[in-house]
Amino acid sequence: MAVLLDTAGLPRRDRTEAFHAAMMSASVPSRVEHEDPGGDVRARMDFWRLGTPDLFRNEGSGIRLVRTPKHVRIGGPERLALAVQVVGTGLFAQGGTDQRVRTGELMLVDLTAPYDFAWSGHGASQAFQIDYADLGLSVETIRAAAARLPSSPVYELVLHHLTALPGILESLQDSPSADMVGAATTQLVRALLTSAAEHDAEPRAMADVLFSRITWYMRRHLTDPALGPARIAAAHNVSVRYLYKLFAERHRSLEQWLITERLDGAARQLTDPASAQLPIAALAARWGFDDAAHFTRRFRQAYGVTPREWRRQTGR
């Protein structure tokens, strides 16, 4: 376990800044608002690495976290968080849905999208953060599950597991078994989301699984300029026509999905200090764009600035 922050040992004047720095290191960029910024800001943040996923616990005085569209455009890992409110009541809003999260209840947070989360007074939340790629579920399945978590037969099991995780991990400190616990927790979360979303007909569920496999495959091969409909269809033993149908049923364009994912990957790499000296044309080629001018046009359409301007604005 790593203690990211404990304000008990800090002067009051330094606590707000220290809280923001710790929060940004543990999760995705967001705006932090304290209920009483001029008063006694109190917080403790603990962090456990469990292989690819991680567990993050934040406890303290009233706060509000706002992830705006601007924060989303900056980029970040494609992750979601399954959180349990362990103290107090949280107010959570995302995708046009408002939710009151009481003590001992779960909420699902898409960390790639804007959201608003707050509690008043003393509160605490504990979040299991995991990559979308590790879940292997479609966005549609996850969104369907988000509003129906309590309907899952494994809801109480997952809730108990997440609540007990810190105590379990303390006994496994510095042990490779922590990664195994992370993998097992990932499977529990997958079972929760899959079962909560199983209100659709079986053919739809099968199509969702296939669509999830296809998009996972595409994300793994984004940097390959030869990745195209024929190769994707052949890799999954379906026709190109059916491949297009899967995307159309979800109101998506296969080509646009691919371009968007590649642009997002390029945008993230542009903010990476390790790539600061990499020419724009070389970076474009790494993300499947053979024509640097075409890459710049598409990037400007998506982000409102050129790749060079994006790199400069992010200060890297």
| Domains along the sequence of the chain with CATH | 2-196 (2.60.120.10), 203-313 (1.10.10.60)
pLDDT tens-digit map of 132-155: 888 888 777 888 888 888 888 889
Burial 127-149 (b: 16+ CB within 10 A, else e): bbbbebebbebbbbbbebbbebb
- Mean pLDDT, the chain, integer: 87
**What does the pLDDT read at residue 162?**
94
Question: What pLDDT band is residue 316 in, cutting at 50, 70 and 90?
Answer: very low
H-assigned helices in the chain: 12-26, 69-74, 132-135, 139-146, 155-171, 177-196, 202-220, 229-235, 240-249, 254-270, 280-286, 292-303, 307-313
The sheet with strand 90-94 has its strands ordered as 31-34, 63-67, 115-119, 90-94, 97-101
Cα dist from 3 to 23, 34, 79, 108, whole Å: 12, 20, 22, 24
Q: What is the pLDDT of residues 246-279, one digit of tens each?
A: 888 887 889 888 999 999 989 988 888 888 888 9
pLDDT band of 176, cuts 50, 70, 90: confident
For range 16-39, the mean pLDDT: 86
Q: What is the pTM of this model?
A: 0.62
